[in-house]
Structure formats: C-alpha cells, structure tokens
A and B are shown apart, each in its own frame.
Chain A
C-alpha cells in the first residue's frame, strides 16, 4: 500500500513537472498548410493566412478560452438600449511595434482600410455604419441594426492597425511589412518557405509572451507535416488526417490533439427552382430521409468513427447547444418507410443529388454512401458528381438536382453564419425558403443578449427538426500534433494559433 501511494505521489509530481519547469524563451516552429496570401487581416483569404497573421495584432476584444467575449485593446464597453451603438474605452499605454501609441484614430483607420473594395473580407468591416473617435481613448461604433455577432466579428476580424503608418504606405506595402500591437513583431518572410516573428518586448500584457519568437514553416503536404513533427523539426502541425493520427499515436515526443470543427455537412433540399413539385415539399418525406439515413454507419465506415453525427445546425460547441435536447435523428428505416407511406410514397421515389466531386475530404464516398443508405427505404438517389469549379461558381439554386451535398462552417461559436448562409431567402447559396425560419434568423441576428439568443437557437433547432430543410450528416474532427514539450497551447475552433501563453517545458 505504501509503495502504491509513493508511486501515485511520484506520478503526480511528474505530471506537475512540465509546468514547474516550463521555461521562457525558445522559438516555436509552426507548420502552415499553405503560403499565406497576405498578413493584412482583411486580405487573409484563407484561414491559414489569418492564423499566421494574428500573432502580430490585437483586437478590441477577443474570445477567451471559455468562448466569452473579453477585453483586449478595449478595457470595457457599453451597448445602447436599441443595440446599435457601442462605446469602447480603449486601453492606455499600448504602443505599436513601430513605437506609435495606440489611440482611437487607429480604430477608425482599421475600419476604413478594412472596407477597401480590394479586400476579400471587406464585408466584415462594412457591417459597421460609422466609427468615430470621441476622444483619444474612446470610440463609438454604430451598426445599421442590432447585430448579435458584432463583438465576435470584432474579435475575429478587426486586427487593429496603426493609422499613421498604414495611411502613409498604403495597403500593399503594409501587407508586406505589417505592424500591430500584438505579442510578436514581424521580422522577415521568405516566400513559400517561412515567416519569422520575434517577441514584442514592449507588449502591454505584463510578462507575455513567453516565447522568444515564432517561425511559421510552409508545408503543403500532410504526410510531410507528419514527418516533420516526427523528426522534431516543427513543434505544431495541424490539418492531419485520421490515418496519420493512427500512425502518430504513441510516437515518441509527439502529443496528439483533436477537437470538433465547427462545420456541419448536410444534404440540402430545394423548394425553389428544380425542387418545386418534388416529394421534398412534404415535411414527412424530409423527416423520412433523416430517419432513413445511417449517418452513424457512414461515420464509422468512412471516418473510422472520427466525426460526430450532426443533430442539426446547432452543434456541440455552439451557443444554445444542449446535448439532451439535440440528439441526432436515430437511424430508423422502419419509421422512415411509415412516413413515406403516410406522404403517399410507399414505393419510394427517384431523385437527383448533386455532389462536389473531391470538394471535401472523402466526400465522394459520402455521396455514394448516402445513395446506398437511402436505397434501403426505397428512395433511389442518383448522384450527380460535378467538378468543384462548376459546383461553387454558380449560385446554388442554379445547380442541378433537387438535393445536393454541402457544408457550412461557422468559426464564431454560434450557428448564425451557417443559418444565414443557407437559409436567408435571396442569399447566394440559399435554396430553401421558409418564412418561420427566416423570421427566427432575423430575431437571432438582432438579439444582443446571449442567453436570450441561446433560447432562440433552441427554438430554431426544434423547428429545423420538425420541418427539416436538410438531411443532417456530420461534424468533422480536426487533428493536430504538437511536440510534447509545448505547454499552454489550446487549439481553438477556428484553428487559429493563439500563442500568447504558449511556452516550452524543460
């Protein structure tokens, strides 16, 4: 007994060791899956680019590790009663990497330069009607109407830039030599190869960052990223496949991290265009398709169980998610056949389903599996594979097939972007029109109170299950690997590298 206690004590001590001996300094080497198009946030067309850019900047607010909006360059803020006017008090004593002090003029410049037509993400800035400096450290931002995700967008997209510098050199030159207030400052970039940052010694957060620097290495091929982490030549590798993770399991010096991606895959229906006059107009049919699809089997067979069956559009990690309430449709082919019979389709029917060939990991197999699974309830799905170029060039209502496979990510911790994209009538990719859903989305958009919004999401979920506009498929898992001496790295749902508090264990 005594030895056992000692062993336990020893184990506890060993577990505490990495933290106790965590040391400052060192350069963290992080793999990027592609060469960032820009280091100027409004132009970071893909997630890799914004991940690599963020360590240079701070936002007014950020999303903390609990998913809450928390102060950053703004120390606090007030929202007007009608929810359209925000007043931010800015942190004093913060300087940019070029030595300029951070003031309200910089917030105005961030907004103005962000709205430039040449920016890929201009609409993340045009969401504000006006940004005015009240005094040096107070800023008023107004939005045309109450916007539920305004603060989240500030946190995700508004990287504060220095007004004098960016106005002097212009956007192109700024992107080549970016300056922010962030924990790391830009040193150099070798095209296609690496991006080097060093510690910002004057960072306003006392004692941070721990690292001396960060080096991003561009490694496009996932197998090479795996080899690089195995050989210890990088410290963090993301976007690995499930098969690679199996190989890496138990590899010396490598820790594995996995987390749910905030992306839902689904089969969309149309009740406009080619969807008019099809069996899909009957809610019972759409329910039957949800019951008759073996999403658990597909997950097992195609993703080795490494994906979550999606309960709807509000998924784990989203505001308003409730595990008990939000269970995926069970696989119940009998119930499906009953529903089909009730709707007058006891002999099933034929339907075409568009599929973006190779558009997502394993999507071709998924499309085939959907077809064979639904054949079990007498629905004959004809899979229409299209090249991704064709599939995504057109507004989705123009794509053939009254059904098609698609996915939406969110990156905001709530389902709103997904709902807006796929279900707001008139939107580019929307093919389903339901007034009740549209009204509810509008209420969510304008509900600034989080708890009230959470309830609206639950109401939305119930509606989207009773009268489903989609067959819900799955939510994938993201795999990353880190060197086992990396401490304090917490992957975030948007795959962003939040490196303020990362350090090396001894």
Chain B
C-alpha cells in the first residue's frame, strides 16, 4: 500500500512540474506584454523603463528560475496589471467558481442519476429514451451556446431569472444548468450503462426471482453497486467544471476564476494567467490524487497493478 501511495504522489509531483514548465513557456508565446500593455504612443525609452520596472527585461531563464523557485514555495508572483499578489486575487475569486461548479454538479446529479437509474432498469421504455436523449444532448450541445439560449429564453423572453451576475440564488440557476449540462449527459449515460451491467448479474436475477419489489431492488441492490463508478466520475467532473467554466462565467458575467482568466489574457497579464492555470491544475491534480488513493483503499486489485 505504501509503495502505491508513494508512486502516485511522485507521479502527481512530476505532473505538476510539467504543468509549471508548460504554462511558463506557453504564456510567453502569446507576445510581448510591454508592447501590448503600454499605450501606442509610448517611446522606446518608456518601454525600456517599464520593462525594467516590471522585471521583464531579464533573460527568460532567470525569469523562469525565479518563477519556479517562487512556485515551489507557494508564491505565484504578482499581477502585472493589478499590482497585487496573484494568489490574493485568485483566492478572492475562488468562492464564486467553487459555488458555480458545485451548483452545476448538483444539477447534473439530481437530474442524471434518477433518470439514468430508471432508464437502466427498464431498457427500451420511454424513460430510457429520455435518459439516452439527455446523454446525447449533454455531450453534443456546446455549453456557451446553451448559455446564450437560456439567457434569451428565461431572462429576456420570460423574465423569470436574471441574465447575468452573482446576486443570490436566482442568479446561479441559469449558469449552473449551462455548466452542468455536459456533466449531466455523461452521468446519465454512465448511470444507465452501469445499471444495465448490474442487471445482468446473478444476485439481481435472484432477488427479482424471489419476488423482491422492483423499487427495493433499485435502491438496495442496484444503487450501491453503481455508486462507485458514479462517485469517481463526479470527482473528475468537479475538476473539469472548475477549469471548464471560463466560457460560462464570461457569458453570465459570473465573477469567478473563469472571467478572471479571460480578463488576464486580454490584459496580457502573464503572471496572472500563469498563476490561474497553475492553480487550477494543482487543484485538479490534488483531487485526482485523492480519488486514486481512495480507490486504492476501496479496491485492493488496484494496489497490485
């Protein structure tokens, strides 16, 4: 078991280093921040002075070493534009993003699991068609487009819900649906197929044969057995939602990490873009690691391989 844990942790650290390196160099491919940040009419001397003040005149390897050294110590640098520590800016925006990701996940689960369960129990029935339809729709409809559609219909036409912003419960409904839609599709499909799988098992046939009511069979025998794959997908979904909410946050003007990333890119705020990307990656890596370790604890077969 210890060998398994060490192996997983080392893998995660290597992955994190890879992310740090990749992000640093990718951000630098997008152009020179001095030219993009200063007004068009800035002279060469002003450009040089500004670059020096911002530390952008030093050789890239030096900047890289400093960035890596800081990152190892948990220092994600300062924003070029906002003159504030990046971590401070990120932490300020994090609650909004976690809230939205949580709501999206909740929406996906509440819709997908019952329908997937019901559909899987009665393959070929109307409820099964609904489950398959949801699975297909969730995986084919782009979320930002769905977001705009929801705004036009529920905010502009019906006036039921706000079109944008973060103002209490009513404002989270539309972005949560738009963001959770893809996950809902995936969960519905997964639940349905897991149920179909379990249904083929001998113990279930026995339960049904001895006359246990279908409802009890679903809740007592099917649900616990399909829970494991569902839970693991939920973990993955959550990390995906944290990082994948950029479009949705922008469409709904939701003040989270996604809109922050969008502004940072637009402002060519290299250190901030870097910091957000690293932060989200770190989040994802930690959650994956936790899921893997939990798996190892649950399922002994994984520890051996």
Tell me the residues in window 264-304 of chain A with beta carbons closer than 8 Å to chain B beta carbons: none
B162 touches A389 (CB 8 A): no
The residues in A between 166 and 201 inclusive whose CB is less than 8 angstroms from any CB of B are 171-172, 175, 190-194
- Pairs across A and B, CB under 8 Å, 11 listed: A123-B42, A192-B96, A192-B256, A223-B251, A228-B164, A387-B30, A389-B36, A392-B35, A421-B41, A428-B44, A429-B40
Could you say which residues of chain B place their CB within 8 Å of the CB of A194?
Answer: 165
Given A43-B83, A220-B253, A220-B259, also A228-B163 (CB < 8 A): yes
Binds B, one of A13-21, A99-107, A114-122, A444-452: A114-122
The B-contacting residues of A in range 366-415, CB under 8 angstroms, are 387-390, 392-394, 408-409
CB nearest to B89 among chain A residues: A191
Given A46-B267, A227-B151, do A220 and B262 touch, yes or no (CB 8 Å)? yes
* 9-residue interface stretch from B46-54, B98-106, B199-207, B214-222: B46-54
How far, in angstroms, from A221 to B32 measured CA to CA in the complex? 25
A217 in the interface (beta carbon within 8 A): yes
A23 at the interface (CB under 8 A from B): no
A193 near B255 with CB under 8 A, answer: yes
Of A34-42, A332-340, A456-464, the one with at least 4 CB within 8 A of chain B:
A34-42
In the complex, chain B residues whose CB is within 8 Å of the CB of A218 = 253, 255, 259
Q: How far is the CA of A300 from the CA of B172 in the complex (A)?
A: 41
Complex CA–CA separation, A417 to B39 (angstroms) = 11
Is B118 on the interface with A (CB-CB < 8 A)? no
Closest to B32 in A: A393
Q: Write the nearest CB–CB distance from A74 to chain B, whole angstroms.
A: 25
Asked if B37 is at the interface (CB within 8 A of a chain A CB), the reply is yes
Q: Mark B145-166, 1 if CB is under 8 A from A, else 0.
A: 0001001100110010011111
Q: How far, in angstroms, from A120 to B54 measured CA to CA in the complex? A: 11
Asked if B31 and A389 sit within 8 Å, CB to CB, the answer is yes
In the complex, the answer to whether B263 meets A387 with C-beta atoms within 8 Å is no
Q: Which of B83, B151, B255 contacts A224 (CB 8 A)?
A: B151
Q: How far is the CB of B145 from chain A (nearest CB, A)?
A: 11
> Is the CB of B82 closer than 8 A to any CB of chain A?
yes
Cross-chain contact A219 with B164 (CB below 8 angstroms): yes
Other than the given A220-B253, A221-B251, 9 more pairs (CB < 8 A) read: A45-B37, A121-B39, A123-B39, A193-B253, A218-B259, A230-B156, A233-B164, A387-B30, A427-B43
Query: Which chain B positions have C-beta within 8 A of A43?
Result: 83
Q: What residues of chain A lie closer than 8 Å to B75, measured between beta carbons?
A: none
Nearest 9 Cβ contacts at the A-B interface: A389-B31, A192-B255, A393-B32, A193-B255, A227-B163, A37-B81, A219-B253, A117-B53, A393-B31
Q: Is B93 interfacial (CB 8 A cutoff)?
A: yes
Interface residue A202 (Cβ < 8 Å from any Cβ of B): no
Query: Counting CB contacts under 8 A, is B252 at the interface?
Result: yes
Q: Determine whether A212 belongs to the interface, using a CB cutoff of 8 Å to chain B.
A: no
Q: Is the CB of B263 within 8 A of A35?
A: yes
Contact code string A2-18 (vs B, CB < 8 Å = 1, else 0) = 00000000000000000
B92, A393: Cβ atoms under 8 Å?
no
Chain B: interface residue total (CB-CB under 8 A)? 52
Smallest CB–CB gap between A41 and chain B, Å? Answer: 13
B29: nearest chain-A partner, CB-CB: A389
Instruction: Contact check, A428 vs B164: say whether CB atoms are below 8 A apart.
Output: no
B262 proximity list for chain A (CB < 8 A): 220
Q: A190-B255, A228-B164, A231-B155 in contact; A37/B92 too (CB < 8 A)?
A: no
Indicate which residue in A45, A192, A421 contacts B40 across the interface (CB closer than 8 Å): A421
CB within 8 Å of A: which B121-168 residues: 148, 151-152, 155-156, 159, 162-166
Contact indicator A392/B159 (Cβ below 8 Å): no
Q: Which residues of A contact B52 (CB under 8 A)?
A: 117
Which one of A34, A217, A223 contacts B266 once the chains associate, using CB atoms below 8 Å? A34
Could you say which interface size class chain A belongs to?
A: 35 or more
Query: B: which residues have CB within 8 A of A?
Result: 29-32, 35-44, 46-47, 49-50, 52-54, 81-84, 89, 92-93, 96, 148, 151-152, 155-156, 159, 162-166, 250-253, 255-256, 259-260, 262-263, 266-267
B54 to A, closest residue via Cβ: A118
B250: chain A residues at CB < 8 Å are 220-221
* Residues in B whose Cβ lies below 8 Å from that of A190: 255
Q: Which residues of A contact B263 (CB under 8 A)?
A: 34-35, 192, 220
By the criterion CB–CB under 8 Å, are B38 and A120 in contact?
A: yes
Cβ contacts under 8 Å, A393 to chain B: 31-32, 35-36
| Contact partners of A220 in chain B: CB under 8 A | 250, 253, 259, 262-263
Which of A118, A217, A231, A389 touches B156 (beta carbons < 8 Å)? Answer: A231
Please name the residue on chain B nearest to A223 by beta carbon: B148
- Across the interface, which residues of A come within 8 angstroms of B253, CB to CB? 193, 217-221, 224
| B30 surroundings in chain A (CB, below 8 A) | 387, 389
A417 partner, pick from B41, B43, B47, B50, beta carbons under 8 A: B41
Complex Cα spacing A191 to B249, Å: 14
Minimum CB–CB distance for A128 against chain B, Å: 15
**Nearest CB of chain A from residue B64's CB, rounded to whole Å:** 19
When distances are taken between beta carbons in the complex, the residues of chain A under 8 Å from B162 are 231, 233
Q: Is A420 an interface residue (CB 8 A)?
A: yes
Find residues 127-146 in chain A having any chain B CB closer than 8 Å to their own CB.
none
Chain A residue nearest in CB terms to B30:
A389
B248 to chain A, nearest CB (A): 10
Contact B256 A387 (CB under 8 A): no
Interchain CB contact under 8 A, A193 and B166: yes
Residue of B nearest to A122 (CB): B46
**Are B155 and A227 touching (Cβ within 8 A)?**
yes
B260, A192: Cβ atoms under 8 Å?
A: yes
Establish whether residues B43 and A172, one from each chain, have CB atoms under 8 Å apart when the complex forms: no
What separation, in Å, do the CA atoms of A388 and B29 have in the docked complex?
11
Nearest to B148 among chain A residues (CB) is: A223
Q: Which residues of B contact A409 (CB under 8 A)?
A: 40
Residue of A at shortest CB range from B45? A123
Please state if B156 and A227 are interface contacts (CB–CB under 8 Å): yes
A393–B41 Cα distance when bound, in Å, is 14
Chain A, Cβ-Cβ closest to B266: A34
For the complex, give the distance between the alpha carbons of A223 and B148 in Å.
8
Q: How far is the CB of A409 from chain B (nearest CB, A)?
A: 8
The interface bits of chain A over 64-89 (1 if a CB of B lies within 8 angstroms of the residue's CB, else 0) are 00000000000000000000000000
- The smallest C-beta distance from B204 to any residue of chain A, in angstroms, reads 49
With both beta carbons as reference points, the residue of chain A lying nearest to B151 in the complex is identified as A227
Query: B41 touching A227 by the CB < 8 A rule?
Result: no
Q: Is the CB of B82 within 8 A of A38?
A: yes
The residue on B at minimum CB distance from A192 is B255
CA distance A388 to B35 in the complex (A): 11
Let me know if B259 and A35 touch, CB within 8 A.
yes
**Contacts of A118 on B, CB cut-off 8 Å?**
53-54, 83
Q: When A219-B164, A408-B40, A421-B40 are in contact, do A231 and B35 touch as well, CB less than 8 Å? A: no
- A392 near B82 with CB under 8 A, answer no
Return B90 CB to nearest CB of chain A, in Å: 10
